[in-house]
Structure 1
Amino acid sequence: MGLYLAVVAGGFRRYATYGTATAAGVFTNTVFGFIVAYTYIALWDERPGLGGYDQAQALTFVWVSQSLLAAAALIGGGFQEELQERIRTGDIAVDLYRPADLQMWWLAADLGRAGFQLAGRGVLPLVAGALAFPLALPADPLRWLLFLVSVLLALVVSFALRYMVGLVAFWLMDGAGINVMATVASIFFSGMLLPLTVFPGGFGEFVRTLPWAAMLQVPMDVLLGKHAGAGGAAEALGFQAGWALVLLGTGRLLQSAATRKVVVQGG
């Protein structure tokens, strides 16, 4: 466990060195947040209560989403490109010989990255949004604690999905296409464009059962109190934990299949 904690700390320090990139990311998230916020204001003026949110809750959804965007790699980023490159060059062989579990190593490194992105790129846009708009941020500390647990589970689900995307490079060699597909799925099915509760009927129910919902929609609903009571919160966190276990297990099986027949370009 000490090894993986050191990897988490190393991942945090690695991304903390990119001060200019972090400042640019904060600026981009803030500007994008204002654009989306005013779009939501126009939309909710026309359709009050859309998706079960009032306007203040919808604006909260916008700004908290911006704070989670980089941490959960909702529009790409993270580690999968690096993993794919190591597979392509053959450096993955070095990783497989390390006295550490491959999946746990990358999970620890990605949690370190996400921790820095959450602090470095998440706090200031949320503060800017709270100063400019009336947000429905809860005053209950227990709600915030549940939200932080939900965010941690969201980060694990995000990692597990991207880990499988990275491992596909064992067969495809070039991960560009699958990376684009994964990013589009994340943007649409996580609730990044619109809350998933906006989608009607059976389609809305279907997308809310997908793993991407655990990356953003569920943490937002936990924060906004849509899962009221101990039972509701347990159900929401259980949904995330269930997907995390399923996806990590699937990634483990995919890793096992890949490393039994390793074909690396140039390695």
Structure 2
Amino acid sequence: MWAAAAGAFTNSVFGILRAYVLIALWQAKPGLAGYDVLDAVTFCFVTQAFIGPMQLFGGGLTIPERIRTGDIALDLVRPASLQAWALSEDLGRAAYLFLVRGLPPMIIGALVFGVVVPSGAGRWAAFAASFALGVLVSFAWRYLIALSVCWLADDRGVVTVSMVLTTFFSGMMLPLPIFPGLLGDVAATLPWAAMAQLPADVYLGRAGFADAVPFQALWAVALLALGALGTRAIRHKVVIQGG
């Protein structure tokens, strides 16, 4: 509980710092990428709220440690799917962190700066669907990273690369629409955009259900399918190594 409270405090403090940076940027470039200052501040605190539930800095899964200790062998012989078991655990964690680490930054942002609040049940429903798919895409990506421990002696390199890619291409640092030219076009098609950028745009009303959800669902299915193949591969590896 105290760790969650500390995380919420940290998210809020860094959210305020990010907000001032974005305010300065948008005051220098009014209307940048179609956002106004209030949109930019809201984007800042919405994406801060996503850090815990979506684990945008990586981690959140116990699989790497269980692979290193060998306990993964027990997980693979259970009647439940390893991927489904990990997903159910991650969804529970995401729901808890959304409440204790996600909502406080939004509340503080609203009190200090003011934020956009979606109007209408339809927009809230679209945001809920987009947010849920963002969590699912995040899990599917982190699951693949976690499985890589089965083939790597040390996963710190791939974890670091994953954190950099997720932070940069998810919209966590800056909204992706301000990326120039081809970089912006490519970034908008990558799976990381489904984690933070699209749910935030749906919240702001810049994207609708039909704009965000099919794209997110496509990446969720693709990454989960790769995760299922990876699970089969490590099961085969464990069986071979176990004789």
**Are 1:196 and 2:176 counterparts?**
yes
Indicate whether 1:21 and 2:3 are aligned.
yes
2:51 aligned with 1:69: yes
Paired residues of 2:45 and 2:109 also in contact (CA < 8 A): yes
Q: CA deviation at 1:145?
A: 1.4
Q: Does 1:238 align with 2:214?
A: yes
CA distance in structure 2 between the partners assigned to 1:265 and 1:180 by the alignment: 28
In structure 2, which of residues 140, 144, 149 is the aligned counterpart of residue 160 of structure 1?
Answer: 140
Alignment counterpart, residue 56 of structure 1, candidates 24, 38, 56: 38
Q: What's the % identity of the aligned pairs?
A: 50
Q: Output one character per residue of 1:44-90: Cα deviation in whole Å (capped at 9) or x when no partner.
A: 000011122111000000011111111100112311xx211111111
CA displacement, residues 159-193 of structure 1 (integer Å, 9 cap, x when unaligned): 00000001111110322111111111110010000
Among 15, 37, 61, the alignment partner of 1:33 is: 15
CA contact (8 A) 1:171 1:263 kept: no
What's the offset of the Cα at 1:141?
2.3
| Kept in 2: contact 1:88–1:173 (CA 8 A) | no
Determine the C-alpha separation between the residues in 1 that align with 2:106 and 2:59.
21
Partner of 1:250: 226
4+ runs of 1 displaced by more than 6 Å? 263-266
- Paired residue type of 1:77: G
Residue in structure 1 matching 2:26, options 44, 58, 80: 44
CA distance in 2, matches of 1:113, 1:198: 32
CA contact (8 A) 1:167 1:255 kept: yes
C-alpha spacing 1:27/1:106, structure 2 compared with 1 (3 Å):
same
Q: For 2:189 and 2:83, locate their aligned partners in 1 and report how far apart those are by CA, in whole Å.
A: 25
Q: Which runs of 5+ in 2 are unaligned?
A: none
- After superposition, the Cα gap between the structure-2 partners of 1:264 and 1:161, relative to the gap in structure 1 and judged at 3 Å, is farther
The DSSP-based 3-state class of the residue aligned with 1:172 is coil
Q: Distance in 2 between matches of 1:93 and 1:61?
A: 43
Secondary structure, counterpart of 2:2 in structure 1: helix
Q: 2:59 touches 2:142 (CA, 8 Å); kept in 1?
A: no
- CA distance 1:101–1:263, shift in 2 (3 Å): closer
1:209 correspondence with 2:189? yes
Contact 1:71/1:118 (8 A) holds in 2: yes
Q: Which whole-Å CA distance do the structure 2 matches of 1:33 and 1:141 have between them? A: 27
What is the one-letter code of the residue matched to 2:178?
Answer: V
Matched with 1:218 is: 198
Distance 1:216 1:264, change over 3 A: farther
Q: TM-score, normalised by structure 2?
A: 0.96
Unpaired runs of 5+ residues, structure 1, are: 1-18
What secondary structure sits across from 2:54 in the alignment?
Answer: coil
* Paired residues of 1:29 and 1:66 also in contact (CA < 8 A): yes
* Counterpart contact for 2:123–2:203, Cα < 8 Å: yes
Residue number among 59, 80, 83 corresponding to 1:103 in the alignment: 83
Letter aligned with residue 60 of structure 2: G
Matched, 1:141 2:99: no
Letter in 1 for 2:7: G
CA-CA distance at 1:265 after TM superposition: 9.9
